[in-house]
Structure 1
Amino acid sequence: MYTEMTEDVVRIMLVDDHPLVRDGLRARLEAVPHFRVVAEADSGPEALGLANKVDVDLVLMDITMRDGSGIEATARFTEQHPDIAVLMLSMHDKLEYVTQAMQAGARGYVLKDAPGKDIVLAIDTVIASGIYYSAALARQLARPAQAQDNQLTSREQEVLRHIANGESNKQIARDLDLSVRTVETHRLNIKRKLGIEGQAELIKFAVQHAKYGGSAT
C-alpha cells in the first residue's frame, strides 16, 4: 500500500459491477509499483460521481453492467472529464464493441482473459497517449483488408488516420478544420472506394492502415 503519492503514480478507477472482479484487479494492479487504485464503482453513474471527488488518471471500464453500458459511461467521461483516459476491459471480443468503444472515446480495449502483463502494458500505453488492443483483437484487426488504401486521396487518408485513433466525426472536423458534413462525405467515399460496408470494418481497416498491431503510440 502506498503511503504517499508521486507524480509518476498512475491513479486508477475500477468500474465493474462484480466485486470479486474488482478485488482481483486491485490486487493485480497494486502489485505494480507505479499503479494505485484510488476508487472503485459498480456502475457508470457512480464512476462519474467519484471522478468529481477523486483525482483519477485512468478508468478501467467494463462494458456490460447491470445499471447501464460502459460504452455510454465512456462517452460521458470523454465529454465531462477529457483529461481522464478510459481503457475498456471486457469479455466481448467482437469488433463491433471495439468500434463503439473507440467512437465513445476509449483509448484502448483489453479482454478479461488477457494475461496480467497485457493489462499493465495497456495502462502504460494509454497513459503515454497511445492506443492499445489485446493481442486477440489485434489479430482480427490485422487480417488482410478487402482493398488497398492507394485509391484514397491525401485528405481521405488523413481522415482515415483520425478514424484509427477512435475519433468521432465531430472531433475529426475540429482537428482538420472541416465541417462535420464534409467528414461524413469523406467516410462514405472511403467506404465506397475500399468496398467496406459497416463501421466496424472501417475501423478495422483504419487501424490496420495505421499499422497499430497489438498496441499503438
Structure 2
Amino acid sequence: MSKASSRLRVLLVDDHTLVLDGLQARLELEDNIDIIGTANNGLEALQKSAELTPDLILMDVSMPVLNGLEATKRFKAEQPNVKILMLSMHNDKEYILSLIQSGANGYVLKDVSSEELVQAINTVHQGGTYFSAGASASLFSPTEVNQQTEELTKREVSVLTEVAMGLSNKEIAQALDISVRTVETHRQNIKNKLDIHTSAGLVKYAIEHQLID
C-alpha cells in the first residue's frame, strides 16, 4: 500500500473561517492526515462528504443552516460509514449525550491541545470512541454509577469493552473468535444485567468502570 493511499482523509466543518484555517494548518503537519475539504455548516458538509468521501469528519456543533446534531443524524442515515468526531465549546451533559445517541464517535472540547486532538482523530478512525477530559468529566460523573449492577462474566466484560470501542457485532465476533449469534446473546445479557439499553449508556458504564480510557 502506498503512503498516499494509507493517509486519513478528513473533512473539516466549522462556521468560523479562522478556526478552519487553524485546524487545517495544524492537522496537515501530521504524516498520516490529509485535509480533503472544508465546510461551513452541516448541509454543506453532507454535500461535500458525498463528493469527497472522507474517512472522518471533524465537525463543530453550533452552526447555521444545519447544526452538528442534526447533521450527525443525517450522516448516520445517509453516509453511515464515515466516522464523526465532534469539536465543541459546550460541555453540557445532555448536549453530549444527544450527539452520542445520534451516532457521533467522539466529543472533544475546543480547549484541548493539538496533540490530544490528533490522538482523538486517530482513535476514532481506528474504530474507537474518544471523549476529551472535560467532556468525560461532564458526562461520566462517578456519583451516577448504576447501583443495580450485577457482576458480569469475563466474556461479557470482553464483549462490553469491544462494544464501547465502537465495534460491530461481526467485528466483535472476529476479535473474540465467537459467532455473531453468541455476541448478540452476550449483548442482550449485558443490557439486562446492567439495566442499560442504549449504546451511549454502555459506553458510559465502560468508561466509569475503566474498561476503556
Q: Distance in 2 between matches of 1:101 and 1:72?
A: 9
CA distance in 2, matches of 1:124, 1:93: 22
Where 1:65 maps in the other structure, the secondary structure is coil
What RMSD in Å do the two structures reach over aligned CA positions? Answer: 3.5
1:128 aligned onto 2:133: no
| TM-score of the two chains, using structure 1 as the length reference | 0.73
The change in CA–CA distance for 1:34 and 1:158 in structure 2 (over 3 A counts) is closer
Q: Mapping of 1:50-69 within 5 angstroms?
A: 50-69=48-67
The question of whether the paired residues in 1 share the 8 Å contact of 2:161 and 2:212 is answered with no
Task: Output one character per residue of 1:126-165: Cα deviation in whole Å (capped at 9) or x when no partner.
Answer: 11111111012233426242526227899x9899768846
Name the counterpart of 2:171.
Answer: none
Report 1 or 2 for greater relative contact order, CA contacts < 8 Å, sequence distance ≥ 6: 1
Say whether 1:12 aligns with 2:17: no
Gaps of 5+ in 1: 168-173, 192-198
Letter in 2 for 1:99: L
Aligned counterparts, 1:101-140, within 5 A: 101-140=99-138
Q: Equivalent residue for 1:92?
A: 90
Q: Which residue is equivalent to 1:190?
A: 195
Q: Could you tell me whether the CA contact under 8 Å between 2:206 and 2:212 is conserved in 1? A: no
* Change over 3 Å in CA distance of 1:142–1:121 after alignment to 2: farther
- Runs of 4+ off more than 4 Å: 151-154, 156-167, 174-178, 199-203
Unaligned segments of structure 2, at least 5 residues: 168-179
Cα gap change, 1:100 to 1:163, in 2 (>3 Å): farther
Query: For the structure 1 residues 163 and 210, does the alpha-carbon distance in structure 2 shift closer, same or farther, using more than 3 Å as the test?
Result: farther
SS of structure 1 residue aligned to 2:4: coil
Residue identity in the other structure for 1:63: V
Q: Which residue of 2 aligns with 1:32?
A: 30
TM-score (norm 2): 0.74
Tell me the distance in 2 between the aligned counterparts of 1:70 and 1:24.
Answer: 19
